[in-house]
């Protein structure tokens, strides 16, 4: 009986130690993020400008406003779960027909 209980106890005690050693932090990505970092460091697009071009190779940084102040074109399908929710809007140009 003790052997039967010993294995689950050992596994439960070893699990947190194994997870604690996982790499974390901005320098521990499994993929190369330098291209994304360069895009984010590029020039900003002013709010309210023309629709964004999906193929322009730029990163978008969206500023959110309180949900009640957001000027969304359509109401969401569901009401926000929290009263202190935020929202934002990005317009993209339609994909060109090829």
**32-76 confidence digits (pLDDT tens):** 878 878 877 877 766 666 666 666 667 777 889 999 898 888 888
Kindly state whether residue 22 falls inside one of the protein's structural domains.
no
- Selection from 64, 65, 57, 52 nearest residue 92 by Cα: 52
Q: Is residue 74 part of a domain?
A: yes
Token pair recorded at residue 13: 């005690």
- Within-domain flag for 84: yes
- Backbone φ and ψ of 37, nearest 5°: -65, -40
53 is a domain residue: yes
Q: Has residue 88 been placed in a domain?
A: yes
Nearest Cα residue to 63 out of 42, 75, 84, 48: 48
Beta bridge partners of 66: 86
DSSP at 68: G
Query: Containing H/E element for 65?
Result: strand 65-66
Number of domains in the chain: 1
The domain in which residue 54 lies consists of: 45-98
* Residue 83 covered by a domain: yes
Give domain status of residue 4, yes or no: no
Give the pLDDT confidence of 2-39 residue by residue, as tens digits.
666 776 767 677 666 555 556 666 666 677 878 878 87
Residue 89 lies in a domain: yes
């Amino acid at each position: 009986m003790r052997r039967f209980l010993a294995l689950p106890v050992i596994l439960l005690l070893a699990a947190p130690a194994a997870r604690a050693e996982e790499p974390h932090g901005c320098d521990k990505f499994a993929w190369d993020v330098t291209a994304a970092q360069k895009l984010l460091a590029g020039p900003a697009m002013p709010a309210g400008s023309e629709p964004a071009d999906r193929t322009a190779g730029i990163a978008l940084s969206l500023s959110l406003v309180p949900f009640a102040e957001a000027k969304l074109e359509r109401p969401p399908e569901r009401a926000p779960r929290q009263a202190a929710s935020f929202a934002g809007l990005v317009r993209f140009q339609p994909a060109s027909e090829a």
